């Protein structure tokens, strides 16, 4: 197949990006900023979940959010209203963020304890580009179906936490949590799975607890 040509170009870009991401991760450890990359399909509830997290942790930590969007600024305004620092990153048609774009966003935000990167809604490309984040979260929403981990394997291989959102709609969809859990663990045996509903608040305290524990263990790693 002559799409080999495309793959070779991509390998070069990815290699450079991996080096940029490793450098950014070191810089963020030095300045004490815990960066979390949040990925999902379009419409899985990334922004609503982040608003819930800001409400749960915003008094204890300085939180910043980078909103990656191709063109609009709806989500950044929602985050600002929730009381966190926010910058809108316009990707200009790009399907993912790379480490250099992430660095620009972190600089624009200024000092923060925790920074969340809301990546472009896409289960394919964002998984290929290391952003320099300390942790990766993938949100899967109930209406998308429990077969997504099998269909988008890399996304589930690179994440530390799978948040299963829109649990309040579980009765209306044929979504089997056991099948989902098995499918996630086939890709990634270490992934933690947390069911939530960003709309009703179900599971948000468990998510906040996971984030606080991840923040603490990252701080310890950073000081080693």
CA pair distance 101, 121, nearest whole angstrom: 16
- Candidates 29-37, 50-58, 108-116, 169-177: pick the segment binding a second copy (CB under 8 A): 169-177
* Beta carbon of residue 171, minimum distance to a second copy (angstroms, whole number): 9
Distance CA 9, CA 30 (A): 32
User: According to CB under 8 A, which residues from 98 to 127 bind a second copy?
Assistant: 98, 100-101, 104, 120-125
For 113, which DSSP code? S
Q: Which helix (H) or strand (E) holds 6?
A: helix 4-31
Helix, strand, or coil (residue 112): coil
Least Å from the CB of residue 2 to a second copy: 6
Q: How many residues bind a second copy (CB under 8 A)?
A: 46
Degrees to nearest 5, angle at CA 75 with 100 and 35: 40
Of 141, 164, 188, 211, the residue at the interface with a second copy (CB under 8 A) is: 141
144 scored as a contact of a second copy (CB under 8 A): yes
* Residue 148 engages a second copy in binding (rule: CB under 8 A): yes
Indicate whether 6 belongs to the interface with a second copy (CB under 8 A): yes
- The nearest distance, CB 203 to a second copy, in angstroms, is 18
Q: Is 13 in the site for a second copy (CB under 8 A)?
A: yes
Alpha-helical runs (H) found in 62-158: 74-82, 99-109, 148-151, 153-157
Of 59, 177, 62, 168, nearest in space to 113 by CA: 62
Q: How far is CA 130 from CA 23, 24, 54, in A?
A: 11, 10, 24
By three-state DSSP, how is residue 176 classified?
A: coil
Interface stretch with a second copy, choices 56-64, 111-119, 150-158, 208-216 (CB under 8 A): 150-158
| Interface ranges with a second copy (CB under 8 A) | 1-3, 6-7, 9, 13, 41-43, 69-72, 74, 92-95, 98, 100-101, 104, 120-125, 128, 141-145, 147-148, 150-154, 166, 169, 172-173
């Amino acid at each position: 197949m002559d799409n080999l040509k495309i793959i070779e170009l991509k390998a070069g870009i990815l290699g450079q990006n991996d080096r940029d991401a490793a450098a950014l991760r070191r810089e963020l450890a030095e300045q004490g900023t815990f960066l979390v990359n949040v990925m999902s399909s379009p419409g899985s509830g990334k922004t609503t979940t982040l608003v819930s997290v800001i409400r749960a942790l915003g008094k204890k930590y300085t939180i910043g959010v980078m909103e990656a969007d191709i063109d609009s600024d709806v989500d950044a305004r929602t985050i600002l209203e929730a009381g966190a620092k926010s910058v809108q990153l316009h990707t200009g048609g790009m399907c993912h963020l790379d480490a250099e774009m992430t660095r620009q966003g972190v600089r624009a935000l200024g000092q923060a304890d925790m920074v969340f990167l809301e990546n472009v809604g896409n289960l394919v490309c964002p998984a290929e580009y290391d952003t320099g984040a300390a942790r990766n979260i993938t949100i899967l929403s109930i209406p998308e179906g429990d077969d997504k981990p099998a269909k988008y394997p890399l996304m589930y291989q690179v994440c530390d936490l799978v948040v299963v959102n829109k649990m309040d709609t579980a009765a209306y969809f044929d979504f089997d949590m056991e099948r989902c859990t098995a499918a996630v663990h086939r890709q990634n045996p270490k992934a933690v799975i947390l069911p939530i509903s960003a709309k009703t608040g179900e599971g948000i305290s468990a998510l906040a607890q996971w984030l606080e524990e991840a923040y603490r263990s990252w701080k310890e790693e950073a000081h080693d």
